[in-house]
Chain A
Amino acid sequence: MDKNILGNNVITQIGILVNDIEKTSQAYADFFGVENPGWSLTDTVEHAQTEYRNQSSEARAKLAFFNMGSLQLELIEPDQNPSTWREYLDEHGEGPHHIAFVIKGMKEKVALMERNQMPLIQKGEYTGGRYAYMDTFKNLKIMLELLENDN
């Protein structure tokens, strides 16, 4: 394997799939004594240009973010359209799905990872940036998400 491909080892997020984001958000808020942040819906495919396994997908998800010290904990409730979120939730039930790293140069990093047998599974755009989920299960036993922010 090429070494230190990402140039960063600081985990910025851990993403957890849930069936009912309102119920689980409230449980987090209660348990950790913080405000319930509410959820937001990812963009439609026209804006997000979501691609899952090389195919355009209408998939959207409700997201809620909790600050947990040095990283954010992201709750994800996906819709029924094809996505890594839906696939993983159906196969494994609720639970951690990915850890995320902020990187620079998305295209180059994705290409480097693919060259090292860690293929792209899903990608999309959000306001101010883009994400890519990489299949790192074989090596790392968890999926990686790459995040690139424009600013």
Chain B
Amino acid sequence: MNRIDNNNLVKIGIVVENIEIAANSYCDLFGLEFPEIQLPSSEFKPDPTGETYTWYRGEFVPSRTKFANLQMGPITIELLEPFDEASAWNEFKEKHGTGVHFITFTVNGFERHINFVEEKGMPLIHKGEYESGRYGYFDSIANLGVMLGLQEIGKKGK
């Protein structure tokens, strides 16, 4: 493997203080329908099967965030209001306040992409596996001026 699967930027992730207020502003300014806001449960229970998880800087952690996806033409704007606990999103919030946190590309072959990006000198700092896909963020600011996100859609092993 000597290059990423594709160069179609599909998502821009933006960390906000208050997701309802931010979502309202986007919807008003751009004439969008108000999105469903995803709220993680306040009591964290790890998946007993281990199938779904979040991993951040070497540890399996709750890493919860409120989030909402806004469809702006072909690009998704993902608004994120992280919980006050260890995650890439909260790390960004503590360093920068609010703003663009990552740009995401959808790839096929998640694990080999992680190896490829890490070989290029951009270590994985956060990843998550959910029911129907997986995502990861890389420390790519020194190389690309922005955090790189990769996602793969579909159940594991399919």
Contacts and interface: CB of A to CB of B under 8 A. Distances in A.
A11 B110 CA distance: 27
A4 B99 contact: no
* SS of B interface (majority): mixed
Interface centre among B26, B29, B74 (most CB of A within 10 A): B29
Interface string A3-30: 1111101110010111000001001101
A33 interface: yes
Contact of B8 (A9, A17, A70): A70
B12 A9 contact: no
A95 B3 contact: no
Contacts of A16: 144-146
A46 to B, nearest CB: 30
B141 A94 contact: yes
Interface string A98-118: 010000000000000000000
B145 A11 contact: no
Nearest to A10: B73
Interface residues of B, number: 35
Contacts of A139: 22, 25, 29
A140 B72 CA distance: 14
B44 interface: no
A108 B62 CA distance: 47
A95 B100 contact: yes
Given A14-B103, A34-B7, A95 B73 contact: no
A94 B143 CA distance: 10
Contact of A92 (B8, B9, B96, B120): B96
Interface string B19-34: 0001001101111100
Contacts of B146: 16, 94-96
Contacts of A31: 3-4, 120, 143-144
A119 to B, nearest CB: 14
Given A10-B74, A16-B146, 19 more contacts: A1-B28, A6-B29, A6-B30, A9-B72, A24-B145, A31-B4, A32-B4, A67-B7, A68-B8, A69-B8, A70-B9, A71-B75, A75-B145, A95-B99, A96-B103, A137-B98, A140-B26, A140-B29, A141-B99
Interface of B: 2-4, 6-10, 12, 14-16, 22, 25-26, 28-32, 72-75, 96, 98-100, 103, 120, 141, 143-146
